[in-house]
Amino acid sequence: MRKSIWLLIYSFVLVVWLCPVRAWAGPAIDDGIQSARKMDSGHFSIFLSAGVDEDQLLKRLDIGPDHKILAGQTLQGAVFSPGSLTDLLDALFIWSCGVLDMNLYNYRGNIKIVKEPGQLGEVYLKLYGVPGHADKAFYIYETNTIYITEQDFTKEILGHEIAHAIISNFFVVQPPQKVAEVLAGYIEFQLRKLGGNRPHLQTLTAGAVPAVTAGN
Ligand SMILES: [Zn+2]
């Protein structure tokens, strides 16, 4: 009996040891990207390539105080600033976790932002040795990294990739690609709906802040 328990423990350790580990557990993988700047948020390490402008990213992301995304973060007790890229990315992450009902409180991942769309193809080719098809953004599970261009740094496209990161990290056994795609598409759809509601900025600046509720 005692022998069989040890055999079980030994087998478990062996299986865990032999399991394919994430790239961050091993030597860094060269994706060919030269980052000019690194920022850290609660959930992400964010790498900006040369020429990528933080103000442009904020503008493209276009998340304002009237978006429910920020209310989600407020409810969790975090303090956010609508002008802070790191805060907004955390808010988007927390909101997406809430919508998917997949909370990952200790999640940390990478977001790499490149200047030109063509650079994503080069990254994919460098990592996999074959041309990739995504020229706006993609997520790589093995390195837990989202790649996205400055031009496509919208909450909808980024939210789609963040959803892929959440789904990949939530499940121990990865769901079928089609299922992941449907869920990521759902997050993107919810964000597009939010986008259409934007502009009560006049009301906001007039001081009559409308009540905002979390979730969607
Ligand atoms: Zn997708």
131-143: average pLDDT: 89
| Confidence at residue 71, expressed as pLDDT on a 0 to 100 scale | 75
pLDDT band at 22 (very low <50, low <70, confident <90, very high): low
Span from the CA of 159 to the centroid of ligand 1 (angstroms): 10
Report yes or no on 131 lying in a domain.
yes
Choose between 76 and 29: higher pLDDT: 29
> How far does residue 185's CA lie from ligand 1's centre (Å)?
7
- Lowest mean per-residue pLDDT among 57-61, 71-75, 147-151: 71-75
Q: Which residues contact 43 (CB under 8 A, 6 or more apart)?
A: 89, 90, 93, 94, 107, 108, 109
* pLDDT of res. 81: 78
pLDDT tens digit sequence for 160-212: 999 999 999 999 999 999 999 999 999 999 999 886 544 443 333 333 333 33
Q: Considering only CA atoms, which of 120, 87, 99 is closest in space to residue 184?
A: 99
Whether 57 is in a domain gets the answer yes
Task: State the average pLDDT for the chain.
Answer: 81
Full residue range of the structural domain in which residue 109 is found: 22-201
Q: Which residues surround ligand 1, an ion (CB under 5 A)?
A: 181, 184
- pLDDT of 2 higher than 70: no
211 inside domain: no
Q: Does 207 map to a domain?
A: no
What distance in angstroms lies between residue 183's CA and the mean position of ligand 1's atoms? 9
Let me know if residue 166 belongs to a domain: yes
How far apart are the CA of 161 and the centre of ligand 1, in A? 6
Where is pLDDT greater, at 131 or 213?
Answer: 131
Residue with tokens 């001081």, as numbered in its chain? 207
Helix (H, G, I), strand (E, B) or coil at 65: coil
C-alpha of residue 157 to centroid of ligand 1, in Å: 9
Say how many Å lie between the CA of residue 198 and the centre of ligand 1.
25
For residue 169, give the H/E element and its range.
helix 155-170
**Which one has a higher pLDDT value, 106 or 117?**
106
Structure token digits, residue 128: 């996999």
Strand order across the 44-49 sheet: 35-40, 44-49, 109-114, 145-149, 137-140
pLDDT band at 159 (very low <50, low <70, confident <90, very high): very high
Question: How does pLDDT run across 36-70, given as a tens digit for each residue?
Answer: 999 999 999 999 999 999 999 999 999 987 788 88
Examine residue 213 and state whether it is found in any structural domain, yes or no: no
**pTM for the full predicted model:** 0.78
Least confident among 11-25, 42-56, 137-151: 11-25
When pLDDT is cut at 50, 70 and 90, the band that residue 130 belongs to is confident
Domain-embedded: residue 133: yes
Phi and psi at residue 158, in whole multiples of 5°? Answer: -65, -40
- Please state, in angstroms and rounded to a whole number, the distance separating the CA atoms of residues 15 and 215: 39
Token pair for residue 55? Answer: 């103000």
Q: What mean pLDDT comes out for the span 112-120? A: 92
Cβ neighbours for 65, distance < 8 A, ≥ 6 positions apart = 82, 204, 209, 212
Number of domains in the chain: 1
How many other C-beta atoms lie within 10 A of the C-beta of residue 70? 24
- From 100, 96, 93, select the one nearest 45 (Cα to Cα): 93
pLDDT at 134 over 70: yes
Question: How far does the centroid of ligand 1 lie from the alpha carbon of residue 181, in Å?
Answer: 5
pLDDT at residue number 108: 97
Average pLDDT over every residue of 86-112: 95
- Dihedrals phi, psi of 76, to nearest 5 degrees: -85, 5
* CATH code assigned at 46: 3.40.30
Q: What percent of the chain lies above the pLDDT cut of 90?
A: 54
Q: Kindly state whether residue 210 falls inside one of the protein's structural domains.
A: no
Instruction: Give the helix, strand, coil percentages of the chain, each rounded to 5.
Output: 50, 10, 40
C-alpha of residue 209 to centroid of ligand 1, in Å: 35
The alpha carbon of 5 and the centre of ligand 1 are apart by a number of angstroms equal to 43
